[in-house]
C-alpha cells in the first residue's frame, strides 16, 4: 500500500475514533440527549473530516517530498476514512438507548484502535502489546477528560 493511502487511512481511523468518542462521551455527560449526541456526530463527521483532510494536505505539502497527486490521495483518503469511521458511531445510537449506545460505541472504538494497532505493529515486525497499550491509554484519557468536561458543563450551565 502506498504511503499516501497509509497516511490517510491510519490518521482517519485514529482521529475518527478518538474525536467521535470524545465528542459522544462529553455531550452525553453534558446533556444526556440522544439528539444532541447524534447531531454532534453528524457535524463532526463532516466538519472535522474536512478539517483533518486539510491538515494532512498541508502537512504532506510541507514535507516537500510528495507529488501533488500523492498529497491529494492522502487528503481524499483521510477525509473518506474519517467520515466513514465517524458515521459508524451513528449505528449504535439508532439501535440502542443513549447510555447503551455510548458503551457499545466505546467498545467499537477500542476494537478499531486495537485491531489497527495490532496489524500496524505486525507489519512493522515489532511488539504489539506496547503500542496497543499506548493507544488504548491515550483513548481512555480522552474519554475521561471529555466526560469530566461534560459533567462540569452540565453542573455549571444547565
Kindly state whether residue 153 falls inside one of the protein's structural domains: no
The reply to whether 154 falls in a domain is no
119-130: pLDDT as tens digits: 999 999 889 999
Domain that holds residue 88: 3-145
Please, which pLDDT band fits residue 153 given cuts at 50, 70 and 90?
very high
- How are the residues of the chain apportioned to helix, strand and coil, as percentages rounded to the nearest 5? 90, 0, 10
Question: What's the sign of the alpha-carbon dihedral 133, 134, 140, 144?
Answer: positive
Specify the number of domains making up the chain. 1
Domain annotation covers residue 13: yes
Q: Over the stretch 55-110, which tens digit does the pLDDT of each residue have?
A: 999 999 999 888 999 899 999 999 999 999 999 999 999 999 999 999 999 999 99
| Any domain includes 113 | yes
Residue with cell 490517510: 8
Q: Is residue 106 part of a domain?
A: yes
pTM, full prediction: 0.92
Instruction: Please indicate, yes or no, if residue 125 is contained in any of the structural domains.
Output: yes
In a domain, 12, yes or no: yes
Which residues lie below 8 Å from residue 13, measured CB to CB, with a gap of 6+?
Answer: 81, 82, 85, 112, 113, 116
In a domain, residue 158? The reply is no
Amino acid at each position: 500500500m502506498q504511503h499516501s493511502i497509509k497516511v490517510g487511512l491510519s490518521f482517519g481511523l485514529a482521529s475518527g475514533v478518538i474525536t467521535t468518542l470524545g465528542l459522544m462521551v462529553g455531550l452525553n455527560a453534558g446533556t444526556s440527549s440522544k439528539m444532541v449526541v447524534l447531531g454532534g456526530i453528524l457535524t463532526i463527521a463532516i466538519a472535522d473530516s474536512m478539517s483533518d483532510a486539510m491538515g494532512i494536505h498541508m502537512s504532506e505539502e510541507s514535507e516537500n517530498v510528495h507529488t501533488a497527486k500523492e498529497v491529494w490521495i492522502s487528503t481524499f483518503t483521510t477525509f473518506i476514512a474519517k467520515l466513514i469511521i465517524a458515521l459508524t458511531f451513528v449505528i449504535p445510537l439508532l439501535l440502542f438507548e443513549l447510555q447503551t449506545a455510548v458503551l457499545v460505541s466505546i467498545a467499537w472504538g477500542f476494537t478499531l484502535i486495537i485491531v489497527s494497532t495490532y496489524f500496524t505493529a505486525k507489519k512493522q515486525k515489532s511488539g504489539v502489546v506496547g503500542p496497543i497499550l499506548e493507544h488504548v491509554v491515550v483513548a481512555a484519557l480522552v474519554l475521561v477528560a471529555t466526560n469530566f468536561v461534560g459533567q462540569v458543563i452540565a453542573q455549571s450551565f444547565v
